[in-house]
Structure 1
Amino acid sequence: MGKRKSSDKGGNKNKKFKAGGFLDPNTSGIYATCARGKEQQCRKELMNIFSDKIEQLYDLDQYKDEQSDEEDKELSIEDQIKKELNDMKQTNESKKEFLKPIEIGCECVVFIKTRKPVQPEELVEKICKDCVESKEKTTRYTLKLTPITYSVSPTIEEVKKLAAKVLAPHFHKPEGQEPVKFAIQVSKRNFNTLERGDIIKTIAECVGREHGHSVDLKKYDKLILVECFKTNIGMGVASNYEKFEKYNLQQIFEKNMGEDDLSRVKKEEKDSKEEQKEDANAKKE
């Protein structure tokens, strides 16, 4: 009797990530890194944090799908009451209109898509600033954040268009533009369409020197962040990158803690891991 062929269903049993996970052009949002295997927890954590912060930063009611006053007036009193009750129930759901987790199929990296009025750069700065001021650890799984103002397809011409749009508020103000020292950081994940050097050269040319701007890799005023992922190139500009520990929330927390408190936290984390290990061994026995 011949050997039974193995089923294809079990071939990808241990494969955690799908081969898909592309980002569309014109996408805005925030990349975040986390420990391997904690992507799902990181996404949930960020959705909660981002939802709270955007309520503090923006008047979201102005940007919801507009229902004209005239349409409301046409409703009967009974229907208006039903609509008001329904709106109250959907308050939390409405936040999700501005934030959407995207499965990108990349280990240790998650992406939360944003839409207006949410500005990724502003949101990340707010979160980092609050972490510094509160000196409290508000995240468990999230490590580093990277804001992406806009994104395009991976061609030099599209990169030029992207740079013109993203860099203008920082480098090309119509009036009173001050000289800016800048640097460019390019990160590539599953991306080999364009060379890093070509991307940097193109962006530097778009910044220009007409306002006295200059490159300074160590003492820059602004850092241009470029995230290349598969068929997408995203760009954002960080104004307080070094001040906020390169937007690394874990490092912000550790820096703001005293040595005694930090040692205590690390000891608690170690003890917790040892207890979990002991519990697992006990169950096996």
Structure 2
Amino acid sequence: MGGNKRKAGKAQEAKDGKKAKTDVHKIGKYLPGGFPIDPKMKGVMVTCARGKEAQAGREACDLLSEYAEKLYGSESVADEPEGDEDESIEDAIAREVAQAKKTKGGKKFLPLMTGTDCVIFIRAMDIEPSSLCHHVLTDLQKSGSKRTRYCQRFIPVDETSYANMDDITVMSERVLKPYFHAENQQPTTFKVIPKIRHNDKVDREVLVKMLASAAGRNQKHSVNLNEPNYVILAEVIKSICFLSVVKDYDSLKKYNIQSIFEAAQKEGKEELKDTSKEDNETVTNNE
């Protein structure tokens, strides 16, 4: 049977006249053919131009790996133990994905297709997505460099769940706690931004009310639509909800790399113009 498979593969290769290329960023059965994103994952949702999802995935993995090494060092993460006979399917998949991709610094990132144009999900292991994305975007803003060709937005994902209100509610308790219900919690401000794609089961208004209620429960937090300290991002794609809490959302241009770069370029030109004006005034006064 194995020989027949090999012959079939060679015949297909000869028919196409091309040899299949191996992409180190791709893990076979997690690619399109099913929805590869499961509950309790964390990572970074990346947006890009239509048709550039694969390129954006590779680019995002490389950039995130570079910054992860700077933040967390280059120590390697120990290999995951082998599963046993009693291991559940969910645990087996989680273990296999954790072993599937290793990048620089021992930190692991795995690009997963969402089946949605212009959106790819980068699963992260051993990384806190919110702090990593904030560091990356803040550094790009300070340096004024874009560093990406295909990636447009980096949206951190603290956790995922099935896209139904019961599961989202349970997940929100875990995700929101460090920001809104920590020990000695101080009052803060927030707003909720939902986005729903390819799903008609989750109602936008119900989702917003639930998350706002969960964040503010038994606290003196308040909603601020203009200058909130935190923004709760709830993205629903097909059967999965992606949830995160971010800071500096507006000052980091809604976590849009292109917008950050354009603003930095504009600011640089204005500073150069102001400096030139001061130099001219100095010359005039000296004369």
Alignment CA distance shift 1:92-1:113 (3 Å): closer
- The answer to whether the aligner puts 1:168 opposite 2:168 as a matched pair is no
What amino acid maps onto 2:168 in structure 1? V
- Counterpart for residue 249 of structure 1: 257
Counting only pairs closer than 5 Å after superposition, residues 1-285 of structure 1 correspond to structure 2 as 20-59=34-73, 61=75, 63-65=77-79, 93=103, 98-116=108-126, 118-175=127-184, 177-258=185-266
CA distance in 1, matches of 2:158, 2:218: 24
CA distance in 2, matches of 1:93, 1:33: 21
CA distance in 1, matches of 2:33, 2:206: 27
Contact 1:22 1:230 in 2 (8 A): no
Taking only the aligned residue pairs, the percentage that are identical comes to: 30
CA distance in 1, matches of 2:51, 2:37: 21
For normalisation by structure 1, the TM-score amounts to 0.71
Q: Cα distance, 1:132 vs. partner?
A: 1.0
Q: Deviations over 1:32-67 (max 9, x none)?
A: 111112111111111110110111112463743279
Bigger RCO of structures 1 and 2 (CA < 8 A, at least 6 apart): 1
What amino acid maps onto 1:48 in structure 2? D
For normalisation by structure 2, the TM-score amounts to 0.71
CA distance in 2, matches of 1:65, 1:244: 36
Contact 1:159 1:202 in 2 (8 A): no
Q: Cα distance, 1:92 vs. partner?
A: 6.6
CA distance in 2, matches of 1:211, 1:114: 31
CA distance in 1, matches of 2:74, 2:188: 33
- Counterpart for residue 88 of structure 2: none
Alignment CA distance shift 1:114-1:242 (3 Å): same
After superposition, the CA RMSD in angstroms is: 2.5
Alignment CA distance shift 1:103-1:242 (3 Å): same
What amino acid maps onto 1:207 in structure 2? A
Q: Cα distance, 1:248 vs. partner?
A: 0.3
Count the aligned residue pairs: 221
CA distance in 2, matches of 1:52, 1:22: 25
Alignment CA distance shift 1:228-1:136 (3 Å): same
CA distance in 1, matches of 2:110, 2:80: 20
What amino acid maps onto 1:230 in structure 2? K
Q: Deviations over 1:119-160 (max 9, x none)?
A: 111111011011111111211111111111001112222111
CA distance in 1, matches of 2:236, 2:254: 18
